[in-house]
Amino acid sequence: MYLEVYEDHEWADLVAEMWTSFMQRRPDARICLPTGETPRPLYASSAPNLDLSSTTVFLLDEFDLPRGSAARCDSMFEQDLLRLLVRPPKAQHRLRVEASDADAECSRFDAIIGKGGLDLTILGLGGNGHIGLNEPGTSMDSPTRMVDLSPATTRAAKRYDADANALRGMTLGMHRIIESDEVWLLVTGSHKTAVLERMLSGPIGPELPASYLRDHPNATVFADRSAAPNL
Ligand code: PGA
Protein backbone atom coordinates (compact mmCIF):
# COMPACT_ATOMS: atom_id res chain seq x y z
CA MET A 1 0.00 0.00 0.00
CA TYR A 2 1.18 3.49 -0.81
CA LEU A 3 0.70 6.63 1.26
CA GLU A 4 0.53 10.18 -0.07
CA VAL A 5 0.23 13.09 2.36
CA TYR A 6 -0.65 16.52 0.96
CA GLU A 7 -1.00 19.85 2.71
CA ASP A 8 -4.62 20.56 3.59
CA HIS A 9 -5.02 23.46 1.18
CA GLU A 10 -3.82 21.46 -1.83
CA TRP A 11 -5.22 18.00 -1.01
CA ALA A 12 -8.42 18.30 -3.07
CA ASP A 13 -6.71 19.79 -6.13
CA LEU A 14 -3.87 17.26 -6.16
CA VAL A 15 -6.17 14.25 -5.80
CA ALA A 16 -8.45 15.80 -8.44
CA GLU A 17 -5.48 15.97 -10.83
CA MET A 18 -4.72 12.31 -10.18
CA TRP A 19 -8.35 11.36 -10.78
CA THR A 20 -8.70 13.46 -13.94
CA SER A 21 -5.54 11.95 -15.31
CA PHE A 22 -6.74 8.42 -14.42
CA MET A 23 -9.96 9.06 -16.34
CA GLN A 24 -8.04 10.42 -19.33
CA ARG A 25 -5.99 7.22 -19.43
CA ARG A 26 -8.98 4.96 -18.74
CA PRO A 27 -12.10 6.74 -20.00
CA ASP A 28 -14.08 3.50 -20.15
CA ALA A 29 -13.15 2.44 -16.61
CA ARG A 30 -15.62 0.93 -14.19
CA ILE A 31 -15.27 2.87 -11.01
CA CYS A 32 -16.89 2.84 -7.58
CA LEU A 33 -17.34 6.12 -5.74
CA PRO A 34 -18.09 7.10 -2.13
CA THR A 35 -20.15 9.87 -0.61
CA GLY A 36 -19.81 11.78 2.66
CA GLU A 37 -17.82 14.76 3.83
CA THR A 38 -14.42 13.50 2.71
CA PRO A 39 -14.93 13.37 -1.07
CA ARG A 40 -16.88 16.64 -1.24
CA PRO A 41 -13.90 18.96 -1.90
CA LEU A 42 -12.42 16.42 -4.31
CA TYR A 43 -15.66 16.31 -6.28
CA ALA A 44 -15.95 20.10 -6.33
CA SER A 45 -12.38 20.43 -7.58
CA SER A 46 -12.65 17.61 -10.14
CA ALA A 47 -16.07 18.26 -11.66
CA PRO A 48 -15.19 20.99 -14.18
CA ASN A 49 -12.45 18.90 -15.80
CA LEU A 50 -13.84 15.44 -15.38
CA ASP A 51 -15.19 13.58 -18.41
CA LEU A 52 -17.14 10.52 -17.28
CA SER A 53 -19.07 10.16 -20.52
CA SER A 54 -17.53 6.74 -21.24
CA THR A 55 -17.33 5.67 -17.59
CA THR A 56 -19.55 3.28 -15.64
CA VAL A 57 -20.01 4.44 -12.05
CA PHE A 58 -21.11 2.35 -9.08
CA LEU A 59 -22.19 4.00 -5.86
CA LEU A 60 -20.39 2.36 -2.94
CA ASP A 61 -23.18 2.05 -0.39
CA GLU A 62 -26.57 3.28 0.76
CA PHE A 63 -28.21 3.94 4.11
CA ASP A 64 -31.62 2.42 4.80
CA LEU A 65 -33.34 5.78 4.94
CA PRO A 66 -36.39 7.16 3.14
CA ARG A 67 -35.80 8.33 -0.43
CA GLY A 68 -34.92 11.99 -0.52
CA SER A 69 -33.21 12.01 2.90
CA ALA A 70 -30.22 14.33 2.75
CA ALA A 71 -28.16 11.59 4.43
CA ARG A 72 -28.84 9.09 1.66
CA CYS A 73 -25.77 8.37 -0.42
CA ASP A 74 -27.73 8.86 -3.65
CA SER A 75 -28.82 12.34 -2.46
CA MET A 76 -25.26 13.31 -1.53
CA PHE A 77 -23.93 11.89 -4.79
CA GLU A 78 -26.37 13.98 -6.79
CA GLN A 79 -25.66 17.09 -4.74
CA ASP A 80 -21.89 16.75 -4.41
CA LEU A 81 -20.91 15.39 -7.81
CA LEU A 82 -23.54 14.63 -10.45
CA ARG A 83 -25.13 18.06 -10.63
CA LEU A 84 -21.65 19.64 -11.01
CA LEU A 85 -20.52 17.48 -13.90
CA VAL A 86 -20.43 18.86 -17.40
CA ARG A 87 -19.92 15.33 -18.78
CA PRO A 88 -21.88 12.90 -16.58
CA PRO A 89 -21.30 9.13 -16.42
CA LYS A 90 -22.22 6.87 -19.31
CA ALA A 91 -23.98 4.60 -16.81
CA GLN A 92 -24.47 4.64 -13.07
CA HIS A 93 -25.62 1.92 -10.72
CA ARG A 94 -26.69 2.11 -7.12
CA LEU A 95 -27.86 -0.28 -4.45
CA ARG A 96 -31.64 0.10 -4.20
CA VAL A 97 -31.92 -0.19 -0.45
CA GLU A 98 -35.71 0.01 -0.63
CA ALA A 99 -35.94 -3.25 -2.63
CA SER A 100 -38.23 -5.79 -0.97
CA ASP A 101 -35.67 -8.59 -1.42
CA ALA A 102 -32.33 -7.25 -0.17
CA ASP A 103 -30.35 -10.36 -1.10
CA ALA A 104 -31.69 -10.30 -4.65
CA GLU A 105 -30.89 -6.60 -4.95
CA CYS A 106 -27.32 -7.11 -3.78
CA SER A 107 -26.93 -10.01 -6.23
CA ARG A 108 -28.30 -7.81 -9.03
CA PHE A 109 -25.76 -5.07 -8.24
CA ASP A 110 -22.92 -7.58 -7.98
CA ALA A 111 -23.92 -9.19 -11.28
CA ILE A 112 -23.57 -5.82 -13.04
CA ILE A 113 -20.07 -5.46 -11.65
CA GLY A 114 -19.61 -8.98 -12.98
CA LYS A 115 -16.47 -10.99 -13.45
CA GLY A 116 -14.56 -8.01 -14.79
CA GLY A 117 -14.78 -6.33 -11.39
CA LEU A 118 -13.86 -2.70 -10.74
CA ASP A 119 -10.93 -0.79 -12.20
CA LEU A 120 -10.84 1.83 -9.46
CA THR A 121 -12.59 2.03 -6.10
CA ILE A 122 -12.42 5.30 -4.17
CA LEU A 123 -13.27 5.11 -0.46
CA GLY A 124 -13.61 7.26 2.63
CA LEU A 125 -12.44 6.01 6.01
CA GLY A 126 -15.08 5.66 8.71
CA GLY A 127 -14.23 6.86 12.20
CA ASN A 128 -14.56 3.22 13.32
CA GLY A 129 -12.38 1.91 10.48
CA HIS A 130 -15.18 0.88 8.14
CA ILE A 131 -14.89 1.17 4.36
CA GLY A 132 -18.18 1.37 2.53
CA LEU A 133 -20.44 0.04 5.25
CA ASN A 134 -18.13 -2.87 5.94
CA GLU A 135 -18.23 -2.40 9.68
CA PRO A 136 -15.81 -3.75 12.32
CA GLY A 137 -16.28 -7.52 12.36
CA THR A 138 -16.35 -7.78 8.55
CA SER A 139 -14.38 -10.66 7.10
CA MET A 140 -12.22 -10.19 4.03
CA ASP A 141 -14.53 -12.25 1.82
CA SER A 142 -17.78 -10.51 2.83
CA PRO A 143 -20.17 -10.17 -0.09
CA THR A 144 -22.25 -7.20 -1.17
CA ARG A 145 -25.07 -7.22 1.39
CA MET A 146 -27.40 -5.47 3.80
CA VAL A 147 -25.68 -4.83 7.16
CA ASP A 148 -26.65 -3.64 10.62
CA LEU A 149 -24.80 -0.42 11.35
CA SER A 150 -22.68 0.17 14.43
CA PRO A 151 -23.95 2.91 16.80
CA ALA A 152 -20.94 5.02 15.72
CA THR A 153 -22.02 4.87 12.08
CA THR A 154 -25.64 5.68 12.95
CA ARG A 155 -24.34 8.74 14.84
CA ALA A 156 -22.02 9.69 11.99
CA ALA A 157 -24.93 9.66 9.51
CA LYS A 158 -26.62 12.36 11.59
CA ARG A 159 -23.83 14.71 10.46
CA TYR A 160 -25.42 14.59 7.02
CA ASP A 161 -28.99 15.00 8.30
CA ALA A 162 -29.80 15.46 11.98
CA ASP A 163 -33.11 13.63 11.52
CA ALA A 164 -31.54 10.55 9.96
CA ASN A 165 -31.75 7.38 12.03
CA ALA A 166 -29.86 4.92 9.87
CA LEU A 167 -29.76 1.49 11.48
CA ARG A 168 -28.95 -0.57 8.40
CA GLY A 169 -27.44 -0.10 5.00
CA MET A 170 -26.32 -1.89 1.84
CA THR A 171 -22.69 -1.96 0.92
CA LEU A 172 -20.35 -3.16 -1.76
CA GLY A 173 -18.76 -6.29 -0.29
CA MET A 174 -15.27 -6.30 1.11
CA HIS A 175 -14.30 -8.96 -1.43
CA ARG A 176 -15.22 -6.59 -4.28
CA ILE A 177 -13.11 -3.83 -2.76
CA ILE A 178 -10.16 -6.15 -2.35
CA GLU A 179 -10.57 -7.44 -5.93
CA SER A 180 -10.67 -3.92 -7.38
CA ASP A 181 -7.60 -3.34 -9.56
CA GLU A 182 -6.85 -0.06 -7.80
CA VAL A 183 -8.10 1.41 -4.52
CA TRP A 184 -7.79 4.98 -3.25
CA LEU A 185 -8.58 5.64 0.40
CA LEU A 186 -9.30 9.30 1.15
CA VAL A 187 -8.57 10.47 4.70
CA THR A 188 -8.90 14.08 5.78
CA GLY A 189 -9.17 16.01 9.03
CA SER A 190 -7.67 15.66 12.49
CA HIS A 191 -10.69 13.64 13.65
CA LYS A 192 -9.36 10.80 11.44
CA THR A 193 -5.77 10.81 12.75
CA ALA A 194 -6.27 8.10 15.38
CA VAL A 195 -8.13 5.70 13.11
CA LEU A 196 -5.60 6.27 10.29
CA GLU A 197 -2.72 5.44 12.65
CA ARG A 198 -4.51 2.27 13.78
CA MET A 199 -5.18 1.35 10.18
CA LEU A 200 -1.53 1.80 9.18
CA SER A 201 0.20 0.22 12.14
CA GLY A 202 -2.29 -1.92 14.05
CA PRO A 203 -3.12 -5.54 13.30
CA ILE A 204 -4.65 -6.38 9.92
CA GLY A 205 -8.06 -7.89 10.56
CA PRO A 206 -11.80 -7.56 11.02
CA GLU A 207 -11.57 -5.16 13.96
CA LEU A 208 -10.56 -2.44 11.51
CA PRO A 209 -11.74 -3.41 8.03
CA ALA A 210 -9.71 -0.69 6.28
CA SER A 211 -6.56 -2.48 7.48
CA TYR A 212 -7.17 -5.18 4.84
CA LEU A 213 -6.04 -2.63 2.25
CA ARG A 214 -2.47 -2.92 3.57
CA ASP A 215 -2.21 -6.21 1.69
CA HIS A 216 -3.70 -4.82 -1.53
CA PRO A 217 -1.12 -4.64 -4.36
CA ASN A 218 -2.33 -1.29 -5.68
CA ALA A 219 -3.96 0.68 -2.86
CA THR A 220 -3.05 4.28 -2.03
CA VAL A 221 -4.02 6.33 0.98
CA PHE A 222 -4.45 10.01 0.11
CA ALA A 223 -4.32 11.82 3.45
CA ASP A 224 -4.21 15.49 4.22
CA ARG A 225 -1.73 16.90 6.74
CA SER A 226 -4.42 17.30 9.40
CA ALA A 227 -5.18 13.58 9.26
CA ALA A 228 -1.52 12.59 9.10
CA PRO A 229 0.46 15.18 11.11
CA ASN A 230 3.27 12.71 11.91
CA LEU A 231 3.65 10.97 8.55
P1 PGA B 1 -17.01 10.98 6.00
O2 PGA B 1 -17.40 9.43 6.08
O3 PGA B 1 -16.30 11.14 4.71
O4 PGA B 1 -18.32 11.69 6.04
O5 PGA B 1 -16.15 11.25 7.19
C6 PGA B 1 -16.45 8.48 5.81
C7 PGA B 1 -17.06 7.11 5.85
O8 PGA B 1 -17.80 6.80 6.79
O9 PGA B 1 -16.80 6.33 4.93
The amino acid that residue 143 corresponds to is P
CA dihedral over 24, 183, 192, 200, signed as positive or negative: negative
Catalytic residue among 62, 74, 130, 182: 130
Q: How far apart are CA 16 and CA 154, in angstroms?
A: 29
Whether residue 216 lies in the annotated active site: no
Catalytic residue among 62, 74, 80, 135: 135
Report the mean per-residue pLDDT for the chain: 97
Residue-level pLDDT at 172: 98
Residue-level pLDDT at 69: 96
Ligand 1 nearest atom to the CA of residue 153, by list position: 8
Residue-level pLDDT at 158: 96
The amino acid that residue 123 corresponds to is L
One-character DSSP codes across the chain:
-EEEEE-HHHHHHHHHHHHHHHHHH-TT-EEEE--STTHHHHHHHHGGG-B-TT-EEEE-EEES--TT-TTSHHHHHHHHTGGG-SB--SEEE---TT-S-HHHHHHHHHHHHTTT--SEEEEE--TTS-BTTB-TT--TTPPSEEEEPPHHHHHHHTTT-TT----EEEE--HHHHHHSSEEEEEE-SGGGHHHHHHHHHS--BTTBGGGGGGG-TTEEEEEETTT-TT-
Each residue of 157-173: pLDDT tens digit? 999 999 999 999 999 99
Each residue of 109-141: pLDDT tens digit? 999 999 889 999 999 999 999 999 999 999 999
Catalytic residue among 74, 80, 105, 128: 128
Whether residue 165 lies in the annotated active site: no
Residue-level pLDDT at 115: 86
Whether residue 128 lies in the annotated active site: yes
Each residue of 8-43: pLDDT tens digit? 999 999 999 999 999 999 999 999 999 999 999 999
Could you tell me the distance, in angstroms and rounded to a whole number, from the CA of residue 4 to the centre of ligand 1?
19
Whether residue 141 lies in the annotated active site: no
Q: Averaged over 64-83, what is the pLDDT?
A: 97
Nearest CA to ligand 1 atom 8: 126
pLDDT at residue 61 greater than cutoff 90: yes
Ligand 1 nearest atom to the CA of residue 131, by list position: 9
Lining residues, ligand 1, CB within 6 Å: 36-38, 124-126, 156
- Residue among 15, 125, 172, 199 to mutate when testing ligand 1 (max atoms within 8 A of CB): 125
Ligand 1 nearest atom to the CA of residue 159, by list position: 4
Ligand 1 nearest atom to the CA of residue 36, by list position: 4
